[in-house]
C-alpha cells in the first residue's frame, strides 16, 4: 500500500460523500433561496419562516433519495471490503 493508493481511496471517499449529501443540500439551497426571495419581496423577517420549510424540504428530499443514497453507500462499502486483501498486501 503506497501513498497514491491511499490518496485514491480518500478521493473516492470524498466523492461518494459529496454525491450522497448533494440531493439534500441542493434542495435545502433552492428552498432557502426561494424563502429569502419571498422574505425580500414581502419584507417579512421572521426566522422560523426560513427554518421550518428548509427542514421539511430536506426531510422530504432525504426520504425520496434514501434508496439511491443507501445503494451508493452499500456499493462503496462492498468495494472497500472486497479490497481489504489489496490494502494489506
pTM, two decimal places: 0.81
Q: How confident is the model at residue 2 (pLDDT cuts 50, 70, 90)?
A: confident
Residue 73: is its pLDDT beyond 80?
A: yes
Question: For residues 24 and 62, is the Cβ–Cβ distance under 8 A?
Answer: yes
Dihedral pair phi/psi, residue 53, rounded to 5°: -65, -35
Question: For residues 50 and 39, is the Cβ–Cβ distance under 8 A?
Answer: yes
Q: How confident is the model at residue 48 (pLDDT cuts 50, 70, 90)?
A: confident
**What was the pLDDT predicted at 86?**
81
Burial class, 82, CB count within 10 angstroms (exposed 0-12 / middle 13-18 / buried 19+): exposed
Amino acid at each position: 500500500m503506497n501513498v497514491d493508493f491511499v490518496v485514491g481511496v480518500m478521493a473516492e471517499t470524498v466523492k461518494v460523500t459529496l454525491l450522497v449529501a448533494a440531493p439534500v443540500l441542493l434542495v435545502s439551497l433552492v428552498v432557502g433561496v426561494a424563502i429569502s426571495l419571498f422574505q425580500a419581496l414581502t419584507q417579512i423577517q421572521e426566522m422560523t419562516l426560513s427554518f421550518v420549510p428548509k427542514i421539511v424540504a430536506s426531510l422530504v428530499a432525504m426520504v425520496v433519495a434514501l434508496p439511491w443514497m443507501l445503494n451508493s453507500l452499500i456499493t462503496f462499502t462492498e468495494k472497500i471490503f472486497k479490497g481489504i486483501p489489496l490494502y494489506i498486501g
